[in-house]
Amino acid sequence: MSLSLFSKTEKINLCTVFFASFLLLSLSTVKAEQTETATGQDTSTINRLNKQALAFWSSKPDSTIILATQALEMSIQLHNMVGQMHALRNLGIGYYEKGNYSEAVQSYKHAIALADGLNDEAFSAQIRSNLSMSYLALGAHDEALENLYTALEIAEKNNFINTVAHANHNIGMVYHYQLKHDEAIEFYEKSRQLYESNGDTTRSTFILGNIAHLYLKKKDFKKAEILYLQSLALAERQDNKKAIGNALQSLGAFFMEQENMQTALSYFLKAKETLELTGEQTEYLRLLDNLAACYMKVSDTDAAYTYAAKNYELATRQQQFYYIQTSAQQLSNLYEKRGDYRTALNYFKKATLASDSLYSQQNKEELVRTEEKYKYQKDQEQTALLHDMQLKRQKQWLYSTITLVFILTAIALLLVSNIRQRRRTNHILKETNDFFEKQNAQLEASNHFKEQLISLVAHDVRHPIASLKNVLSLFESKQLSSADIQHLMSLSYRDVNNLIQLLDDLLLWVRLQLTYIPLNKTRFQIQDVLEPIVQLYQQKADDKNIQLVVEHTIYTEVYADREAVATVIRNLIDNGIKFSKTGGRIHIHTASTVNNHRVAIYISDTGIGMSEQTISNLFTTPIYARRYGTNNEEGSGLGLQICIHYLQLNNSELLIESSPDQGTTCWFELDSVDAV
């Protein structure tokens, strides 16, 4: 470009800009040379921290997290993208081993963003395969499979044999969890063949164990035993202590499933000796859980207590929520057998809280998703900045000066962008904080509700058993007349029936609280569910001279979980009979909503009714849900809680209208097939 095209003033200004840019570039070059040695030393420290973090993942996951965090902080300060990528991968491994699956997902996603920015396909495929296991633990099977097939595509394209094998194994794990046994076995076998063809036989012991688990599920006990023994023999040939401990424990679990307790105990104790040498934590907690369960089956409660208590202590120290839950439940059962119901109830609460903590961590996933876009953009900008710095050192003086001008412009734009992003982030953080405050309040209310409900149920369970004990004591005294015996037998029969119904409701409620039950939504006619239930309760209604009237008004198909809907209807009809007087009437009918996208099911009775305050309290305080019927029929209130839970799972809610002595109408709505 010729300077003759510019005026004298423009020439002076242009020369000034060139001189300033040259001076700034020169100073940057000198500074880079001065810091090059220090940066090399820091990079070596980052690599050492990441290497140490990876070495501790199995035995000391807490150390893995601490070391990886140090490596990440140092890498961010030095803009070392590779160091950040490895540190985030190690954090994901550590959090996964600790059971903090949402944090593991967040770390793995950041590592993938960096790997993609650096075009490191090998690392990207490897981390995606790891990420899938965290999604699997959270129950997000679709996300797990999506990442696994992406990893498999990348690995097969680049002939990354070990990653192809790893992805095949993890796909097998997903199908294993989905109870697709044959598909899981196919992927496990393919994974094992790939590893062995690549000269890696160390993983075959674990894969053989997984395949054996599947044959055990398929009731092919002979095949399962052969595979378990092959896994153990291979581990012993390799002198792999961790694999030996795992194989011994699997054999113990196999024989415990076969009710061969002595053989099972023999393998478990051998596994204990081996695992104590390795320092393996998670596998050791699983072993303590199995030992406690095995000793309980042989009625050695002292030994069972020893291992359950040790498991609870170690799991609490390591914050392993799954094993806190299982060991607390075992201790609750043991104290109940000893008659120490107070301590049993205390451990039952701890098991419930551990279960809540384990699954409530899924709430954090929403925070990960809202922040992901901003953090990914920031990582991409850091990668672009590093690339620009490398180009600046390689270009000639003129091109370097021009690049510097563009960098200064980019910095200005980045500042503007950061200001906007900061405002957005502050807004997102405020919404997130409000969300978690609301969640905490709901959790506290839920815990208070459960404590009250457990106290009521404990009383209701003990009362009929104590009454039955007194009746048996009177029988033993042989001082009762035939009329007295008949009267007491009638009372005991009623108490036992009430107790059985209470225990059925209690077991279903506890199952809903402790485990995730997947829905099985199908299309069906609501009349097909109503008719058998009405027939089931017809005799109970006849006993109180109550009319059961079903009005078939529409025949629209609904889309919901059939068993859940049946459970709700059974409870509502049972309550209608319970709280209706002799000669009453229960009316059941269906109707379409205004937009015809939903179907409403109404159950009305002419019973004793409720006030508005009582209706409000039904959903917050269990003492109000626990009421006696018109013939003094007992009710624990658990049925109502089960109805509320099942309706929430089916995108619905329970609605109630009632007035004292005017009867009650309960109804809920379900999606029609047309809406879906």
Q: Which of 162-166, 328-332, 385-389, 435-439 has the lowest mean pLDDT?
A: 385-389
Q: Which of 51-65, 92-106, 613-627 has the lowest mean pLDDT?
A: 613-627
Q: Is the pLDDT of residue 412 over 80?
A: yes
Q: For residue range 37-92, what is the model confidence (pLDDT) as tens digits?
A: 445 678 889 899 988 888 877 667 888 999 999 999 999 998 899 999 999 999 99
Provide the mean pLDDT of the chain.
80
Q: Is the pLDDT of residue 313 over 80?
A: yes
The pTM score is 0.47
User: For position 458, what pLDDT does the model report?
Assistant: 62
User: For position 470, what pLDDT does the model report?
Assistant: 77
User: For position 149, what pLDDT does the model report?
Assistant: 92
Q: pLDDT over 70 for what percent of the chain?
A: 79
Residue 293 belongs to some domain of the structure? no
User: For position 613, what pLDDT does the model report?
Assistant: 87
pLDDT band of residue 246 (cuts 50, 70, 90) is confident
Beta bridge partners of 561: 521
Residue 659 belongs to some domain of the structure? yes
Section 314-325 average pLDDT: 82
pLDDT band of residue 482 (cuts 50, 70, 90) is confident
Asked whether 173 and 183 are in contact (CB, 8 A), the reply is no
Nearest to 523, CA basis, from 565, 551, 567: 565
CA-CA distance, 34 to 18, in Å (whole number)? 24
Asked whether 508 and 545 are in contact (CB, 8 A), the reply is no
| Beta strands 547-551; 521-525: pairing state | unpaired
Q: Which residue has the tokens 């000669």?
A: 583
CATH of the domain at 587: 3.30.565.10
Beta bridge partners of 667: 602, 655
User: For position 364, what pLDDT does the model report?
Assistant: 45
CA-CA distance, 162 to 194, in Å (whole number)? 7
Asked whether 250 and 213 are in contact (CB, 8 A), the reply is yes
User: For position 216, what pLDDT does the model report?
Assistant: 83
Residue 534 belongs to some domain of the structure? yes
pLDDT band of residue 504 (cuts 50, 70, 90) is low
Asked whether 226 and 232 are in contact (CB, 8 A), the reply is no
Q: Which residue has the higher pLDDT, 508 or 264?
A: 264
Q: Is the pLDDT of residue 275 over 80?
A: yes
pLDDT band of residue 624 (cuts 50, 70, 90) is very low
Asked whether 357 and 320 are in contact (CB, 8 A), the reply is no
Q: Is the pLDDT of residue 33 over 60?
A: no
Asked whether 675 and 597 are in contact (CB, 8 A), the reply is yes
Section 222-235 average pLDDT: 87
pLDDT band of residue 8 (cuts 50, 70, 90) is very low
Q: For residue range 350-373, what is the model confidence (pLDDT) as tens digits?
A: 888 877 766 554 444 443 443 454
Nearest to 638, CA basis, from 507, 542, 530: 507
Question: Which 3 state secondary structure label does DSSP give 445?
Answer: helix
User: For position 199, what pLDDT does the model report?
Assistant: 83
User: For position 344, what pLDDT does the model report?
Assistant: 86
- How is residue 353 written in tokens? 């809280």
Question: Which 3 state secondary structure label does DSSP give 41?
Answer: helix
Q: For residue range 554-579, what is the model confidence (pLDDT) as tens digits?
A: 777 899 999 889 889 989 998 999 99
Q: For residue range 625-651, what is the model confidence (pLDDT) as tens digits?
A: 567 777 777 666 777 888 888 898 889
User: For position 204, what pLDDT does the model report?
Assistant: 83
Maximum alpha-carbon separation in the chain: 129
User: For position 257, what pLDDT does the model report?
Assistant: 85
450-464 burial code (b ≥16 CB/10 A, e <16): bebbbebbeebbeeb
Residue 666 belongs to some domain of the structure? yes
Residue 612 belongs to some domain of the structure? yes
Residue 547 belongs to some domain of the structure? yes
Q: Is the pLDDT of residue 20 over 70?
A: no
Q: Is the pLDDT of residue 184 over 50?
A: yes
pLDDT band of residue 241 (cuts 50, 70, 90) is confident
Asked whether 75 and 83 are in contact (CB, 8 A), the reply is yes
Q: Which residue has the higher pLDDT, 582 or 14?
A: 582
Query: Can you give the residue range of the structural domain that contains 585?
Result: 519-671
Q: Is the pLDDT of residue 544 over 80?
A: yes
Section 526-555 average pLDDT: 88
- How is residue 310 written in tokens? 């040790």
pLDDT band of residue 660 (cuts 50, 70, 90) is very high
Please give the C-alpha separations between residue 607 and each of 125, 257, 589, 660, in angstroms, as whole numbers.
64, 51, 17, 9
Q: Which residue has the higher pLDDT, 141 or 441?
A: 141
Section 114-139 average pLDDT: 89
Section 151-174 average pLDDT: 90
User: For position 15, what pLDDT does the model report?
Assistant: 45
| Beta strands 547-551; 585-592: pairing state | parallel
Q: Which residue has the higher pLDDT, 634 or 459?
A: 634
Asked whether 128 and 147 are in contact (CB, 8 A), the reply is yes
pLDDT band of residue 605 (cuts 50, 70, 90) is very high
pLDDT band of residue 517 (cuts 50, 70, 90) is low
Q: Which long-range contacts (CB under 8 A, 24 or more apart) does 172-181 make?
A: 172/210, 173/133, 173/136, 173/210, 174/132, 174/136, 174/141, 174/144, 174/145, 174/148, 176/210, 176/213, 176/214, 177/136, 177/141, 178/141, 179/217, 181/214, 181/217, 181/218
Find how far residue 130's CA is from the centre of its chain.
17
Q: Is the pLDDT of residue 11 over 50?
A: no
Provide the residue type at 82 as one letter.
Answer: V
Q: Phi first, then psi: give them for residue 395, nearest 5 degrees.
A: -85, 160
Indicate the DSSP class of residue 521. E
Any residues with CB less than 8 A from the CB of 670 and at least 6 apart, and which? 526, 558, 559, 560, 565, 598, 599, 601, 650, 652
Residue 298 belongs to some domain of the structure? no
User: For position 169, what pLDDT does the model report?
Assistant: 92
CA-CA distance, 202 to 666, in Å (whole number)? 61
Alpha-carbon dihedral sign for residues 32, 119, 101, 56: negative
| Beta strands 521-525; 598-605: pairing state | unpaired
Any residues with CB less than 8 A from the CB of 553 and at least 6 apart, and which? 589, 590, 591
- 3-state helix, strand and coil shares in percent for the chain, rounded to the nearest 5: 75, 5, 15
Residues for the chain: how many in total? 676
User: For position 462, what pLDDT does the model report?
Assistant: 65
* Domains contained in the chain, number: 1
Three-point CA angle 583, 587, 590, nearest 5°: 175
Asked whether 184 and 172 are in contact (CB, 8 A), the reply is yes
Helix 204-217 to helix 181-197 angle, to the nearest 10 degrees? 160
Other C-beta atoms within 10 Å of 106: how many?
24
Q: Which residue has the higher pLDDT, 611 or 321?
A: 611
Q: Could you please report the per-residue DSSP string of 536-600?
A: HHHHHHHHTT-EEEEE-----EEEEEHHHHHHHHHHHHHHHHHTSPTT-EEEEEEEE-TTSSEEE
Asked whether 320 and 328 are in contact (CB, 8 A), the reply is no
Q: pLDDT over 90 for what percent of the chain?
A: 22
What number of CA atoms fall less than 13 Å from residue 157's CA on the CB side?
9
pLDDT band of residue 196 (cuts 50, 70, 90) is confident
Question: E strands of 183-239, at which residues?
Answer: none
CA-CA distance, 169 to 173, in Å (whole number)? 6
User: For position 97, what pLDDT does the model report?
Assistant: 81
pLDDT band of residue 665 (cuts 50, 70, 90) is very high
Q: For residue range 330-349, what is the model confidence (pLDDT) as tens digits?
A: 999 999 888 888 998 898 98
Any residues with CB less than 8 A from the CB of 258 and at least 6 apart, and which? 221
| Helical (H) or strand (E) element with 436 | helix 397-477
Q: Which residue has the tokens 């009731």?
A: 219
Q: Is the pLDDT of residue 503 over 90?
A: no
Asked whether 129 and 167 are in contact (CB, 8 A), the reply is yes
Question: Which 3 state secondary structure label does DSSP give 671?
Answer: strand
Helices (H) and strands (E) in the chain, counts: 24, 7
Residue 240 belongs to some domain of the structure? no
Section 372-381 average pLDDT: 49
CA-CA distance, 133 to 283, in Å (whole number)? 17
Section 432-452 average pLDDT: 70
